[in-house]
Structure 1
Amino acid sequence: MSSRRAQLLSLDAMVSLVIVVFVFTAVLNTSSALKGEITSMLGWYERANIADNMLDIMIKTQGEPADWYQSPGSVKIVGLRSDSSLTGVDYKRVKALALNFNNKNVSGALNNMGTGKDFLLEFYISSFNVSIEGRFPRVHVPNITFADKKGGGVRFDIQGSPNGNDYFSVSYIKITKANGSVYKNENITRLSNNLNIEVNRGDIVEIVTASTTYITTTNAEVPSGLCNSAYSRGNTCVIGPLPENTRITIYATNPQSNFKIQLENKNNWKRIRLTSGEGNVVVTVSAYDNTTPKISSSYTFYTSLMEKKTPTYWFAVINGTPTQDRNSVLASMDRSPWIEPAERRITIARLEYNLSAGPSATDPMVYGLLTSQLPQGAYLSVSAPNSQGNATFVALSGSRLLGLMVYRDKTGGILRGVLVENRTSGVVLKYYSGTASSISIPLKDIFGEGSGMVLGLWFYSLNGWARGDVSINIEPSIEWSLKPKAEPALVKLTVWDDS
């Protein structure tokens, strides 16, 4: 009996031992798996925190020192928060970071924030893009009143050659009588009497030429450099040749003597000449190319840039070295066992006032929200070398878009300006004459006289002159009349470890 009891006890003990071993093994396996999961979760949390912490520091602080963007080499902590907003990001800080990412102090500060990990930083910023298509008109006669020194009448005519009162061709003609009645093209023949159309006080004649023309005047006060020395003699000034497709506008102030439009044939309004006004004619004349460029702007939302994967600014730091080589970035990411992205939708506060900036279709010289009316008498001043060249600008005020060109046609000539708008094709809003060295354009002509609107000025292009030889100023400064304009944006940070 005792032998059988011992065998049973041994069998029970063995079964129990096996069960205990199984339970112990299961516990050990569970503990190892749990430990692995905890370790993996802690690693993920640590990696995810790098991106989130970096973004939080950059977005929620101004950095150290707070004015680091003015001297990027002094930075210890990169912060982007706006001075004027607790939640917005400052565009000038973002731009300073984007333009100085390879500064060793900047990349070093970012490397410390990222605890030595590799990262890619991208900014998608909503913004304007402006364009000018076509040619600005050259002004041949800048709204001059032809009169003698006492304001009295002079001889004046327009002709097809510099030596005689020839007929010339027109593609358009409009006569607005002093009483308000309007006659265009073939309808002007209704005004003719024996081929002649009288031009009376207060009448306005607008012509677009279809052949070369010349303006001849005697005893008139004409600005220096306007008369063609090859044809002008004594008190007689010949202006031209004015090319085909020149728009000429004549306002008759005091046509007292024989001032008429004469048709070559009774029913042919396309061939005319002006009979000489002798002695008592006073007219105000402008003449410029009948072409205006198309001025346009587009506003691109950051979401469109995201879809195209074209950030406004971007750079990466790999193993402590800054780079903008996309292939190197992708190769480094491929070598990493993990990649953690983070992003923030932000509001970026943009105020630009840099009159030393170079030409750009995207970066304005002046940009912001106009909080008060522009100062009385404020003007844009442009100085340029004494050689042929031009500078073009695009101006935005609210929804209104204009183009401005400052130019010099020939060495030694005066600077001229022409302001155009898209609303009416072929029509110049204003034209300006300067001196041999500079020209001033009233700001009210460019931006209007309102307030509470977005205001922008793009220095669009420069031809014939070096940027360092062109001076652009606004007098008095309007910087303090502007406040930052809020723009939607997104910042994205991707962190990995290519070690």
Structure 2
Amino acid sequence: MKRRGQILSLDAMLSLVIIIMIVGVVVNTNDIIKAEVTNLIDWYDRANIADNMLDVLTKSPGYPKGWENNPSSVKVVGIRSEDYFFALDYDKILALNSSIISTVTRNSLLNLSKWKDFQIELYLTTKNLSIAGDFPGPLITWDLSQDSGNFRISDKGNSPFDVECDSVLLNGAPAPFGNNIQLDSGDVLEFIPLEDIDVYRQDTYYGSIPSNSYVIVETINAISNFKYSFSSGTPCTLHITGIGQVRVTVESYDRGSLSITATSVYPTNLTTPTYSFAIINGSLTTDSATINASKVRSPWIEYQARNFVVAKLIYNGTITLTQNQKEAIIVGNLKQNLPGYSYLEISVPQNEAGNLTFAILDGTLLKGIFIEKDAADSNIKAVVAWQNDTMQPKFYEGNTTTVRIPWSMIFEEFTSENGAKPVEFWLYEKNFSGDVVLRDLDNLGMLLEPKFEPVLIKLWVWDDR
């Protein structure tokens, strides 16, 4: 009996050991599975922080409505446009960047990140503008319509002068070649001389016209005997004379050498973000070394990046320029042509000399505007010039404080039935120490709508505790 009981005890012990081993394996496996599930849940939760944060930020316009106009009132930050469901709002992006120093804005974002550390980078389409060379000018106007007698335009030896062949126009059409071609009252002769030429009145020197100027000669008097001789060759030559009752107006100006370039750099090609900031343990920082060090200390980092379009409209009826800083002051799509009675009024400091340079993007056309006041008591002069002198520049003169330029000259007529035209108005350089004020007379803003540009948002979330 004793022997039989010992055998049974050994069997029972072996069975117990096996059962304990099985239970241990099951318990250990269960712990491993629980740990893996916990890690998976933690990972999913972390991954969802960045994803959910971007969802709220970019799919909601935020609360309350119009918070960008009063960022201190924001409860939930959102940058989706309220008017265009497919786009972000440019003003909300600016408000987010400028108000991030506010505790209210930071706390709203921290609620979205579940009080984890995060970094946001925004990449907006960037415009590179460059203006080189000289603007056309100065304008020279000789009004000889009150005089009579002999008149001629020639070289210094009373001989024909060289001109650009294609520049010689009679009433807007190519002028015919020939000698002593009669000009009738109201005829307009235009040309570009290739050398300096002189103007004589009654055989007395009147003034000089520089080479490469535009010259416009308009016959006023019906009884004048005004003629020109135009010959072909390399180069062509021109000679202009008048005898008797000659009444003409002569305008000329230096063509200048204006060159304007404008290139767009899209978000995916930018190496530096337009706006960037991070919140680490509740504190704002933009220092890259501090941000990177915090990321290194975190056991995990989650990253999200998304591409969007942004509805961009920059406009204000009155714009005050205080600094010499290149900036876009009007951006949008022009829906309709501007009426002839609408103007841009530019006011400069009264007792100060200086100048301003503006760059204009008018659809595919590039233009420049130069505003100059030579002395504190002199009138303001303005010139609108086209890239590479592709069109005849326009000159304007105001008083000692203001000058007006037609909006229709800045943003030209287009076929609105084919869709809106993108337009931009940039301050390029300001050389007045005092403030300069731009006023829209007759509301350009009513004819503008947003233009849509690409934008890229990058978000990192981590836990540096």
Is residue 336–residue 498 contact of structure 1 (8 Å, CA) maintained in 2? yes
Secondary structure of the corresponding residue to residue 346 of structure 1:
strand
**How far apart are residue 35 of structure 1 and its match?**
2.0
**How far apart are residue 383 of structure 1 and its match?**
1.5
| Mapped pair 1:43 → 2:42 | yes
| Mapped pair 1:497 → 2:463 | yes
> Residue type of the partner of 1:26?
V
Secondary structure of the corresponding residue to residue 192 of structure 2:
strand
Secondary structure of the corresponding residue to residue 418 of structure 1:
strand
Is residue 389–residue 408 contact of structure 1 (8 Å, CA) maintained in 2? yes
- In structure 1, stretches of 5+ residues that fail to align are 219-235
> Residue type of the partner of 2:19?
V
Pair 1:461–1:177, CA change in 2 (3 A): closer
**How far apart are residue 341 of structure 1 and its match?**
0.9
Partners in 1 of 2:439 and 2:356 — Cα distance? 14
Pair 1:179–1:270, CA change in 2 (3 A): closer
Partners in 2 of 1:205 and 1:370 — Cα distance? 33
| Equivalent residue, structure 2, for 1:396 | 361
**How far apart are residue 320 of structure 1 and its match?**
1.8
Secondary structure of the corresponding residue to residue 377 of structure 2:
coil
Aligned partner of 2:442 among 462, 466, 476: 476
Aligned partner of 1:431 among 385, 395, 416: 395
**How far apart are residue 101 of structure 1 and its match?**
2.1
Secondary structure of the corresponding residue to residue 5 of structure 1:
helix
Partners in 1 of 2:190 and 2:55 — Cα distance? 67
Aligned partner of 2:249 among 261, 274, 284: 284
Is residue 292–residue 428 contact of structure 1 (8 Å, CA) maintained in 2? no
Partners in 1 of 2:40 and 2:306 — Cα distance? 23
Query: TM (normalized to structure 2)?
Result: 0.83
What whole-Å deviation, never above 9, does each CA across 1:407-447 have from its counterpart, x for those lacking one? 2344433222222223x636533222222221111111221
Pair 1:77–1:489, CA change in 2 (3 A): same
| Mapped pair 1:5 → 2:20 | no
Secondary structure of the corresponding residue to residue 78 of structure 1:
coil
| Equivalent residue, structure 2, for 1:75 | 74
| Mapped pair 1:325 → 2:290 | no
**How far apart are residue 128 of structure 1 and its match?**
3.9
Pair 1:94–1:3, CA change in 2 (3 A): same
Secondary structure of the corresponding residue to residue 373 of structure 1:
coil
Pair 1:160–1:461, CA change in 2 (3 A): farther
| Equivalent residue, structure 2, for 1:147 | 145
Is residue 369–residue 453 contact of structure 1 (8 Å, CA) maintained in 2? yes
**How far apart are residue 470 of structure 1 and its match?**
1.2
- In structure 2, stretches of 5+ residues that fail to align are none
**How far apart are residue 105 of structure 1 and its match?**
2.8
Secondary structure of the corresponding residue to residue 43 of structure 1:
helix
**How far apart are residue 23 of structure 1 and its match?**
0.9
Partners in 2 of 1:322 and 1:343 — Cα distance? 21
| Mapped pair 1:31 → 2:30 | yes
Partners in 2 of 1:155 and 1:437 — Cα distance? 41
| Equivalent residue, structure 2, for 1:225 | none
Aligned partner of 1:417 among 343, 360, 382: 382
**How far apart are residue 120 of structure 1 and its match?**
0.9
Is residue 364–residue 456 contact of structure 1 (8 Å, CA) maintained in 2? no
| Equivalent residue, structure 2, for 1:109 | 108
| Equivalent residue, structure 1, for 2:342 | 378
Partners in 1 of 2:391 and 2:373 — Cα distance? 21
Secondary structure of the corresponding residue to residue 85 of structure 1:
coil
What whole-Å deviation, never above 9, does each CA across 1:237-272 have from its counterpart, x for those lacking one? 9667x6x54504132414766867899xxx997999
Partners in 1 of 2:29 and 2:259 — Cα distance? 73
Is residue 320–residue 438 contact of structure 2 (8 Å, CA) maintained in 1? yes
Query: TM (normalized to structure 1)?
Result: 0.78
Is residue 125–residue 312 contact of structure 1 (8 Å, CA) maintained in 2? yes
Is residue 80–residue 94 contact of structure 1 (8 Å, CA) maintained in 2? yes
Partners in 1 of 2:260 and 2:276 — Cα distance? 30
Pair 1:179–1:456, CA change in 2 (3 A): closer
Partners in 2 of 1:426 and 1:169 — Cα distance? 24
| Mapped pair 1:204 → 2:180 | no
**How far apart are residue 495 of structure 1 and its match?**
0.7
| Equivalent residue, structure 1, for 2:332 | 368
| Equivalent residue, structure 1, for 2:276 | 314
Q: How does 1:435-474 map to 2 (within 5 A)?
A: 435-450=399-414, 451=416, 452-466=419-433, 468-474=434-440
| Mapped pair 1:341 → 2:303 | yes
Q: Which moved more, 1:198-207 or 1:105-114?
A: 198-207
Partners in 2 of 1:70 and 1:179 — Cα distance? 52
Partners in 1 of 2:297 and 2:381 — Cα distance? 60
**How far apart are residue 404 of structure 1 and its match?**
2.0
Pair 1:371–1:463, CA change in 2 (3 A): closer
Is residue 398–residue 453 contact of structure 1 (8 Å, CA) maintained in 2? no
Percent of pairs with identical residues: 33
| Equivalent residue, structure 2, for 1:118 | 117
**How far apart are residue 359 of structure 1 and its match?**
6.2
Q: How does 1:136-175 map to 2 (within 5 A)?
A: 136-141=135-140, 145-148=143-146, 153=148, 172=164, 175=168
Secondary structure of the corresponding residue to residue 444 of structure 1:
helix
| Mapped pair 1:486 → 2:448 | no
Partners in 2 of 1:179 and 1:238 — Cα distance? 27
Q: How does 1:157-306 map to 2 (within 5 A)?
A: 172=164, 175-176=168-169, 182=175, 191=178, 200-201=183-184, 202=187, 204-208=189-193, 210-211=195-196, 244-254=210-220, 280-305=245-270
Pair 1:178–1:115, CA change in 2 (3 A): closer
Partners in 2 of 1:488 and 1:41 — Cα distance? 35
Is residue 353–residue 367 contact of structure 1 (8 Å, CA) maintained in 2? yes
Is residue 379–residue 401 contact of structure 2 (8 Å, CA) maintained in 1? yes
**How far apart are residue 456 of structure 1 and its match?**
2.3
Q: Which moved more, 1:473-482 or 1:449-458?
A: 449-458
Partners in 2 of 1:372 and 1:26 — Cα distance? 79
Secondary structure of the corresponding residue to residue 134 of structure 2:
coil
